[in-house]
Structure 1
Amino acid sequence: MTNVQQFAAAGAGVWSLGWCAAWLLDPMVSLVLLAILRAEQVTARHGVRMGGWVRGAKWFTLAATYVMNTWSAFMDGSAVLVVLHSVPPLVVFVAAEAVTELRDKLGAVVANAAPGRADVAPTPRTSFAEYLEVARAARTADVVVTPAWVRQVTGCSRGLSSRLAATLVEDGDRS
């Protein structure tokens, strides 16, 4: 962000209007890029492909960020600074392009998990009542009910085991 600000300020005096406005350039370009990536994500969820303008806008915002980040390094002729200032925008570029393929592959996984596909069907969630039934069946008179014991016999989560244990202890108090 500081590289873009220095590029945009172009020697403007510190705290001048131009210097202050230059701080807005990087967030503006980054927010547009984030909006594009988010829109691609949402539309992909519904199987809608984006057109060439969207890809062009994504590439343009990435290219603009790259140029503004590396301009002073190129002007100074410093290979080290060019590499240093190239890495962040290039990582963002590669990640933004990888997201497109990842989104398509994740969409295919979801489509393959459709009803009727027993090999990839999601496991249904176990309810509190179902866990409680399993714990009640496993409980004997000599069992000290603790969340750890509940997790051991039901396989429930740590957070749920405390509630189940409290319910079982309350059940025992009523007997």
Structure 2
Amino acid sequence: MNRREAERSQPAPEAEAIERTRTQVDRLCWTGILLGLAFTMTNVQSFAAAGAATWSLPWWAAWLLDPMVSLVLLAVLRAEQATARYGIRTGGWVRGAKWFTLAATYVMNTWQAFADASAALVVLHSVPPLVVFVAAEAVTDLRDKLGEAARGTVVNAGEHPAPDEEPAPKRRVSFEEYLDRARSAWVPGTDVTPAWVREVSGCSRGLSSRLAATLAEEVRG
């Protein structure tokens, strides 16, 4: 590999900066989610203990309820984040599990506040579960968008020829070539959408709908 090729193989500085930002955003969001779930633990334990004597068996067992729900929620969130990177949409059971665990955490955390009819306590105990919910929905989308931005900077950087080189003429990519790219990227369970087709084939927005319809018809056939 000569020097010019080695330079081209290095990621663009903008892409490196975006990748660092994506890592920081991912870590901050997950830290906020974990802290929010940790905050709710004592309230859920108090809800589950229902006045049981401190250090009694029911009191200890009540500490298991919140981690049980939180671990399932974290597993679902991590799985959604991983599958979203490959354009794979999760099913209804996955979404249902996420919404049910988030709703369960909210209800158990605010039950006593609503029972006491205390607006201040309702707000206090509503904020952490709602932050967890918002962060859970945003973290995957933020990671994907920052990933797209990083890939865009790499593509743009690669389009500029070296000073002593003439740019190679761009060859028009045919419909069939785009379709072949999408075919090779498709795996069972993939939701064939125009956005997914654009991501895997590099086609234009105007062409992606027709490509998605064609490939979806082939898959159904």
Length-normalised TM-score, structure 1? 0.61
Q: Is the 8 A contact 1:26 1:65 kept in 2?
A: yes
CA distance in 2, matches of 1:69, 1:76: 13
Match of 1:81 among 117, 121, 128: 121
Identity %: 78
Pair 1:37-2:77 in alignment: yes
Structure 1 residues 78 and 40: alpha-carbon distance in aligned structure 2, compared to 1, 3 A threshold: same
Q: Report the Cα offset of residue 42 of structure 1.
A: 1.4
Residue 183 (structure 2) aligns with: none
Greater Rg by CA: 1
Residue 71 (structure 1) aligns with: 111
Root-mean-square deviation (CA, aligned residues, Å) is 1.8
Q: Please list, as runs of the form range in 1=range in 2, the aligned pairs for 1:58-137 lying within 5 A after superposition.
A: 58-109=98-149, 112=152, 117=155, 119-121=156-158
Deviations 1:55-108 (A, max 9, x none): 111111111110111000000110000000101000001111112322442453
Length-normalised TM-score, structure 2? 0.49
Residue 48 (structure 1) aligns with: 88
CA distance in 2, matches of 1:89, 1:63: 8
Task: Give the number of aligned pairs.
Answer: 118
Relative contact order, higher structure (CA 8 A, sep 6+): 2
**Unpaired segments of 5 or more residues in structure 1?**
122-175
Q: Report the Cα offset of residue 109 of structure 1.
A: 3.4
CA distance in 1, matches of 2:127, 2:115: 17
SS across alignment from 2:100: helix
